[in-house]
Each structure stands twice: as C-alpha cells, then as structure tokens.
Amino acid sequence: MRNVLITGASRGIGAATARLFAENGDRVFLNYHRSHQAVQALCAELTAQGCSVFPLQADVSDPQAVQAMFRTLSDHGTDIDVLVNNAGIAQTKLFTDLTDDDWHTMIDTNLSSVFYCCRAALPAMIRRHSGRIINVTSIWGQIGGSCEVHYSAAKAGIIGLTKALAKEEALSGITVNAVAPGVIQTDMLSPYSPEELQVLQSEIPVGTLGTPSDVARAVFFLASPHSSFITGQILSVNGGSV
Ligand code: NAP
C-alpha cells in the first residue's frame, strides 16, 4: 500500500485527489490548514468505505510546521511514496496595489510550501530509490494572469522547480511532474460572479469549466506505473485553452 501525502486536501482539487487515491487502495494523508470540519467529514466518509485515510493539520507556508508534519509521519514509521503539492491560495488585485504582505503570503503559501514539502519528503525517497512528486501549478503560471501577478509568479516558480528537481532526482528513481489546471469549479472561483464565470467558460475550447476530478485523474496518472518514463513535465488540464 503506497503512502500518499496530499497538501490542501480538505476541499476542491485536493479533496477529489485524496478521494481518488484512497478509493484505489492507497493510504492517504490529508493535509489541511483551517478546514478541520471538512477534512474530518471527508475522512469519516472514506473510512466508512474501508479506505485508509488520516488528517494532518499543518500550515505548509511555515517551514517548521512542515517539519513537524513529517516528524509525525516518521514517528509512525511512515515514508511518503507519493507527494502531491496542491495547497494554494488565490488573490485578485492590481499589481500596483500589492503589498509586501500580499506578495510574501502568496509566495510562501504557493511556492515555498512546495520547497519545504519536497525537502522533507525526498531523503526517504532517495534512500528507497523510488518516489513520485506531483506539483499543482496553474495555467496562469504558464501564460500569466492579469491582476494575479504574484499568483502567476508563484505558479511559474513551481514550473521551474519541477523541471529542475526532475533532472536532479532522475537517477534516484524519483519522478517530478506538475499538473497545470485551467479554470476548475472550486471555492477558488467564489470571487467571480455568474456572468464572469460565463465569460471564462465561453473562452474554453471544450465549452465547460473543469471539475476537481478532471485534475485528480491527471495527478493519479502521474503517480501510476503508466507514467514511469515521464518526468519534468507540465500536464495541462484546461479544456484546450493553451
Ligand atoms: P480551494 O478549493 O480553495 O482549496 C485550497 C486548499 O488549499 C484547501 O484545502 C486549503 O486548506 C489548502 N490550503 C491553503 N493554504 C494552506 C496552507 N497554508 N497550508 C495548508 N493548506 C492550505 O482551491 P482549489 O481550487 O482546490 O486549488 C487547489 C490547487 O489548484 C491550488 O494550488 C490552486 O492554485 C490550483 N489551481 C486551481 C485552479 C482553479 O481554477 N480552481 C486553477 C489552477 C490551479 P483549508 O481548507 O484548511 O484552508
């Protein structure tokens, strides 16, 4: 049974990904920050189905909290086989209005968290000469999003990290890839009005918004034996937008 750690697994894409891995027989650790009740409800539901799931609270933007989370895992003799760096926040703001705090919160939560979690998971993966890391970037990290410059910069950083780390770990039996979702129906879209969502949808070639499950299936593939020769790649899940 593989040990899978998914950051930001209380809601949206992370929750759908946790569900998919758990229902396919993996032992899944669901990291979250604040949504205690949501993660408890998801874990109760999956446990009732016979799945092996465990909630793990940690603010992944905090290096000490990440260290403590991995210490908890190793205290229980658990090495992570599959790390999914999914936790993230979004903010829409004019570049000229961004404060230092906006910038640092975005970079810490969306990019530094990936560094902290990879750094903590890799020693055991290298020792066992096996492991999968899947990072969740964004279409805006690929093409840039207006009024989301800090978000786009963090997500572009994930792309660079993914490609470079993949090369460094290639001979260690570890693959490092990313998925780049387009517009996916989660709480992250809550700032948009129905009319704005209609416009976004009309710009997507397949004519629909994506679902969390669409992204989860791409992540699951990148963790499967079917993708063992794929590393350093960015898999777009965006309905044909880019
Ligand atoms: P979401 O529904 O808002 O969920 C965000 C998740 O991240 C929650 O589980 C949240 O935990 C967690 N999180 C946030 N800050 C955290 C922190 N400091 N420490 C630990 N967990 C934290 O968002 P989503 O749409 O599923 O997004 C998931 C990922 O996909 C993000 O990286 C996002 O940038 C990316 N993405 C989303 C879209 C989209 O259209 N939805 C498009 C491209 C990329 P709590 O609930 O505990 O706060």
Count of C-beta atoms within a 10 Å radius of residue 38? 16
Check: pTM over 0.95? Answer yes or no: yes
* pLDDT at res. 8: 98
CATH class, 3-237 region: alpha beta
Q: What is the mean pLDDT of each run of 10 residues along the chain (242 residues)?
A: 98 98 98 98 98 98 98 97 98 98 98 99 98 98 97 99 98 98 97 95 97 98 98 98 94
Atom of ligand 1 lying closest to residue 10 CA: 9
For ligand 1, pick from 33, 57, 139 the residue to mutate: most ligand atoms within 8 Å of CB: 33
> Is 152 near ligand 1, meaning CB less than 6 Å away?
no
- Please tell me the predicted confidence (pLDDT) of residue 121: 98
What confidence score (pLDDT) does residue 210 get?
98
Q: Is the CB of 196 under 6 A from ligand 1?
A: no
User: How far does residue 47's CA lie from ligand 1's centre (Å)?
Assistant: 23
Q: How far is CA 28 from CA 48, 53, 200, in A?
A: 14, 5, 33
pLDDT for the residue 120: 98
For ligand 1, is residue 2 a contact (CB within 6 Å)? no
33 lines ligand 1 (CB under 6 A): yes
Measured in angstroms, how far is the CA atom of residue 87 from the centroid of ligand 1? 5
Q: What ligand 1 atom has the least distance to the C-alpha of 212?
A: 26
Please tell me if the CB atom of residue 203 comes closer than 6 angstroms to any atom of ligand 1. no
